[in-house]
Amino acid sequence: MMSQFDLSDKVLRYGGLAVRGFVYSMMLTPAVIVIGASFNSGELLKFPPQGFSFRWYAQVWQNQQFMVALWTSVYLATFATVVSLLLGFASAFVLDRFKFPLSSMFSSLLLSPIIIPMVVLGLALLQLFSWLGLSQSFTGLLLSHVLIMLPYVVRTLSTGIGLINKTLEEAALNLGASPLRTTMRVSLPLLMPSLVAAAVFAFVTSFGNVTLSVFLASTSTITLPVQIFAFVESSYDPTVAAVSSVVIAVTLGVILMIEKLVGVSQVIGR
């Protein structure tokens, strides 16, 4: 006869499986619909598709605006990720290892872009960059993306730095290694999973951003999300689904690269 403990264990197990299945289905269903609609042979964006065709992918490849916007987004996200990692690592290291009177205020300022509404932040940066002469420039767009990426980078790296065994760094210093050499040869290798996680958060945040890019982009620095947004306003053919599928493929490629280099489980934690 089944005990009450076994019954509760089964309820928890199957309940957990049901919840996970629901969450996974909610995450995957939009992507499946978009990818399926991108192969539609008809003239309108709809799911399930009417027939099967690669014509919309060919149209995306031949569309100069989409291709330029794609490479602009990749270049901007990569460059902004590198800058945010450098600034974020320095900020997280200082906040963890040094205590100074304004450390809490400094930490709050770094995290403030998460709290401020993106529209308000976009308007404020537009005014600031207009005053500085950086309006609708790649530099202004880069700085704005770095600003919204820093909170995720700093929080991720702060957690990683806090978990580093400081006795290993002290041992390296006692053996004659300089602080810079200790950081490069001891701290950074131990921090590699957190660095990869921070880079992923930063890249995805920049690559998918629409609001700031709408305010700050120019005709020569239009990113792919902005181009998709503008295209949907004037057309409703499956080209937008094909472009969105390319974005999904880029994201999947980043995940596979992470798995190859360090392992996804090391990035998100076991």
Q: Is residue 229 situated within a structural domain?
A: yes
* Tally of domains in the chain: 1
- DSSP summary character for residue 1: -
Q: Residues with Cβ < 8 Å from 238, sequence gap 6 or more?
A: 37, 38, 39, 40, 42, 44, 45, 49, 56
Q: What is the pLDDT of residue 259?
A: 64
Closest C-alpha to 230, from 245, 242, 213, 247? 213
Q: What is the pLDDT of residue 83?
A: 93
pTM value is 0.76
Q: Which domain holds residue 147?
A: 58-268
Q: Is residue 67 situated within a structural domain?
A: yes
Q: Is residue 89 situated within a structural domain?
A: yes
- DSSP summary character for residue 183: I
Q: Is residue 177 situated within a structural domain?
A: yes
| Residue 2 to residue 177: CA distance in whole angstroms | 63
| Residue 2 to residue 135: CA distance in whole angstroms | 70
Q: What is the pLDDT of residue 249?
A: 80
Closest C-alpha to 66, from 241, 185, 194, 260? 241
| Residue 175 to residue 160: CA distance in whole angstroms | 24
Closest C-alpha to 224, from 77, 87, 118, 43? 77
Q: What is the pLDDT of residue 270?
A: 44
CATH of the domain at 69: 1.10.3720.10
Q: Is residue 159 situated within a structural domain?
A: yes
Task: Report yes or no: 170 and 183 within 8 Å, Cβ to Cβ.
Answer: no
Q: What is the pLDDT of residue 164?
A: 77
Q: What is the pLDDT of residue 79?
A: 92
Q: Is residue 1 situated within a structural domain?
A: no
In the chain, alpha helices (H): 4-38, 55-62, 64-97, 103-115, 118-132, 138-163, 166-174, 179-182, 188-190, 192-207, 211-216, 224-234, 239-261, 264-268
| Residue 251 to residue 265: CA distance in whole angstroms | 17
Could you tell me the mean pLDDT of each successive run of 10 residues in the chain, 270 residues long?
A: 56 71 76 78 72 78 82 89 90 79 75 82 84 82 89 84 78 78 80 83 83 80 82 75 80 70 51
Q: What is the pLDDT of residue 81?
A: 92
Q: Is residue 18 situated within a structural domain?
A: no
Q: Is residue 105 situated within a structural domain?
A: yes
